[in-house]
Structure 1
Amino acid sequence: MSTPSTTTTDVLIQHRRDIADLKQRIKNRRLQVLGLCGTPIFLALTLLAWASLKIFIWLDSDTPTAINGVFFAIAALSALAAFAQFWAEFYGQVWEDSETSVRELRLDLSLAEEHHILETRRHTPPSTDRQASYKERLPPEVVRLRMESRHYRRLHLLMQWLLFVTSAAISAVTAWYDPPQPAKGVLICLGFTVTVITAAAGYFKPRERAFNLQQTADSIEQHATALELGIAPYNAPDEAQNLELFATTVEGMRAEQRMREQQLDQPQQGQQQVI
């Protein structure tokens, strides 16, 4: 027999599924409307271009067979695609939201989100339960931080190796070709590559981003381990107090990580003012 807590959880999960389904339906409907409107327009533009070529270029002669074949194939495919989409929309009932506007789906999504908020507020669990579930949601966040850290670290290493190789190649090509007239194009390309890599590394700062993400992930994992083992600073007799301290500490770390990312996105002068 299901308990009230289990029933409430199932209802909230079903609300999330309905919201995700509506979002996907809105994306699909946008593509369908784009095809319904865009395919006839593309067909009309193709026919107009075909006629314009005949009038302005081959008015007194026959249009080449290859040109006629290409435009005929494009026009035929566009007409077939337009017919198939109109049939699916108005007659075939193939699409789930046929003859439904995106505006109506957005309204349904807003109502579903509002209903989910009201149900969540009505069945809000105690703060201790929310803090305990917050601890269980942290491992995916740590994995995400580590993945982003590895991404920026690899990007930094790639940029550095490209910088090393191109810088060394400039000296090697200059020494090999003296005067460097036969390799002038190669030197220009290598110099351009060095400039672009140096500017990109200074602007995007992948090394700093990788370090900050890795540091935040390690700190969160350290605090999660300390809470799990019941060691300082989470060795209080009251478990609720430990969970509250843990949630407060981790949220502070995440806020600090977001602040560091914002500082890296700012120009150098702006970073100095923030610091």
Structure 2
Amino acid sequence: MTTATATLPVEQRIIALESQISEARFLKRLSMLWLTVGNAALVCAVVAGNLFIDYSKPGLGRVMLNFFGVAAFLASSSGSIYWWNQHRSTIRNKTVELRQKEAEKRSLQAAEVAARSLSSTFRTYYESIPNVRDEFRRGAERYRSRHNLFQLTVIIGSILTSVSTTAAAEQGIWSWIAVGISALVSISAGIIAYFKFRERSLNLQQTADSIDLEVQSYTLGIRRYKDVPPEVASALFAEEVERIREEQRKKELQLEQPPEVSQQRPQPA
């Protein structure tokens, strides 16, 4: 049985696990969004009801409003916390299984490399590359999550600022709420602009995909490794991976520089 045939079931399971983890992360973000924004909206609705509703009219009672509002808040908080914890457990369990399958895949690929009678130095190097690739992917996911969090803060905060500013015409306390939310929006926008989470995530993801492509090409003996002697193929593989990693380091250094320095950098001919 060839390595490609042996690793096919493992590859399929890895793809399925990555899809399940991605879905669980999306649902976890939704539950966190409801836990924070949804419950905050419920509190604001109850407060607004106490401030703006005329309770002198028949059939309107402040006690009943507060009772149902607090009950809805408690039920919403409990449900959102429960679902957030459920999705977190799913992510943790699926991630453990994914790491196990990736280790199994690396073992199968290492066996194929060993069968080519290559040097022990290259075997060690080759076995370390999947870990490097996965580290880039984890970094990309980490920066992507941070960017989404702060971007969501900017979007929601901008909407709440407009609402609070409008309400400030009736009640003075809303003007302070609008000021606080506006400050939070400005801080979040500044953090996004300074740390450049989106750009860092994109660079790391591209680097991980490029390394993964080289690993697959080398393992299957395709593209630049087709009909190439093992010694030459191993040298080509190491050179290409190191070139990709060097490009990633240059991208990181470029992101650390101020915008005016990056704009003055001469473009390669």
Superposition TM-score, scaled by structure 1 size:
0.52
Deviating beyond 6 angstroms after TM superposition, the runs of 4 or more aligned structure 1 residues are none
For 2:122 and 2:131, how far apart are their aligned partners in 1?
Answer: 16
Give CA deviations for 1:122-166 in whole Å, capped at 9, x if unaligned: xxxxx9432232111101111111111110000011011111111
Q: Specify the alignment match of 1:208 in structure 2.
A: 199
Indicate conservation of the 8 Å contact 1:146/1:213, yes or no. yes
Q: Is residue 2:219 matched to residue 1:228?
A: yes
Give CA deviations for 1:225-244 in whole Å, capped at 9, x if unaligned: 00000001111331110110
For 2:169 and 2:150, how far apart are their aligned partners in 1?
Answer: 29
Q: Specify the alignment match of 1:190 in structure 2.
A: 181
For 2:228 and 2:153, how far apart are their aligned partners in 1?
Answer: 55
For 1:185 and 1:244, how far apart are their aligned partners in 2?
Answer: 64
Q: Specify the alignment match of 2:246 in structure 1.
A: 255
Q: Is residue 2:163 matched to residue 1:172?
A: yes
For 2:227 and 2:205, how far apart are their aligned partners in 1?
Answer: 29
How far did residue 179 of structure 1 move? 5.5
Q: Which amino acid aligns with 2:182?
A: G
**Residue 268 to residue 180, structure 1, CA distance change in 2 (3 Å):** farther
Q: Specify the alignment match of 1:245 in structure 2.
A: 236
Q: Is residue 2:186 matched to residue 1:157?
A: no
Q: Is residue 2:135 matched to residue 1:144?
A: yes
Q: Specify the alignment match of 1:119 in structure 2.
A: none
Q: Helix, strand or coil for the counterpart of 1:264?
A: helix
Q: What is the root-mean-square deviation of aligned Cα atoms in Å?
A: 1.8
Q: Which amino acid aligns with 2:138?
A: M
Instruction: Return 5+ residue gaps in structure 1 as ranges.
Output: 1-126
Counting aligned pairs with the same residue, the percent is 32
Q: Which has the larger radius of gyration?
A: 1
Aligned length: 150
For 1:274 and 1:261, how far apart are their aligned partners in 2?
Answer: 15
Q: Helix, strand or coil for the counterpart of 1:183?
A: helix
Indicate conservation of the 8 Å contact 1:153/1:207, yes or no. yes
For 1:273 and 1:250, how far apart are their aligned partners in 2?
Answer: 29
Indicate conservation of the 8 Å contact 2:168/2:175, yes or no. no
Q: Is residue 2:190 matched to residue 1:199?
A: yes
- Which structure's residues are more often helix, by fraction? 2
Single out whichever of 171-180 and 188-197 deviates more from structure 2: 171-180
Q: Which amino acid aligns with 1:131?
A: F
Indicate conservation of the 8 Å contact 1:174/1:180, yes or no. no
For 1:237 and 1:141, how far apart are their aligned partners in 2?
Answer: 25
Q: Helix, strand or coil for the counterpart of 1:233?
A: helix
For 1:198 and 1:139, how far apart are their aligned partners in 2?
Answer: 35
Give CA deviations for 1:192-231 in whole Å, capped at 9, x if unaligned: 1111111110010001111110110010011000000000
Indicate conservation of the 8 Å contact 1:145/1:213, yes or no. yes
